[in-house]
Amino acid sequence: MGSTSTTGSASTFSGPDGTVGYVAVVMALITGVLHLVAATNAIQFSQILGVLFVLNGLGFLAGTGMYLSKYWRRELFVVAALYSLVTILALFPVQGWGIEAFYMQGSINPLAVVTKAAEAVLVGCAVYLYAAE
């Protein structure tokens, strides 16, 4: 959880306590923004898929805001890890069950690779922060 002010009144938002917290924030912002960007392409194929991309992106951004707020609790690290893991796994039923999930029209899809890598790092960060706190 982020550090709090020592002046007696805790601020609503503060930065993470350590490096792993900052890495988690960066990974969540990367995947959140990239899901919003990908929604513009996904909506061309399926309106439902486009909406799911938007909701997922907003979920990561909202989770980041929650993590940086005074309302964050240790148990939410488990929620963050599970949310990221489910998002990773959600790629495969839609795109295919093997390495082909990371390809689009015969070429590697950098958005898929970067978002899934960021989500995997976020899972690791969340588990670490849960265990460390």
The pLDDT tens digits along the chain (133 residues) read: 454 444 556 688 888 889 999 999 999 999 999 999 999 988 888 898 889 999 999 999 999 999 999 999 999 999 999 999 999 988 888 777 778 778 887 888 888 889 999 999 999 999 999 999 7
CA–CA separation, 13 vs 29, rounded Å? 16
CA–CA separation, 13 vs 38, rounded Å? 29
Judging by DSSP bridges, how do beta strands 103-104 and 107-108 pair with one another? antiparallel
Buried b / exposed e along 86-116 (16+ C-beta atoms within 10 A):
ebbeebeeeeeeeeebbeeeeeebeebeebb
Query: Hunting for tokens 């958005």 — which residue is that?
Result: 111
pTM: 0.85
What lies within 8 Å, CB to CB, of 110 at 6+ separation is none
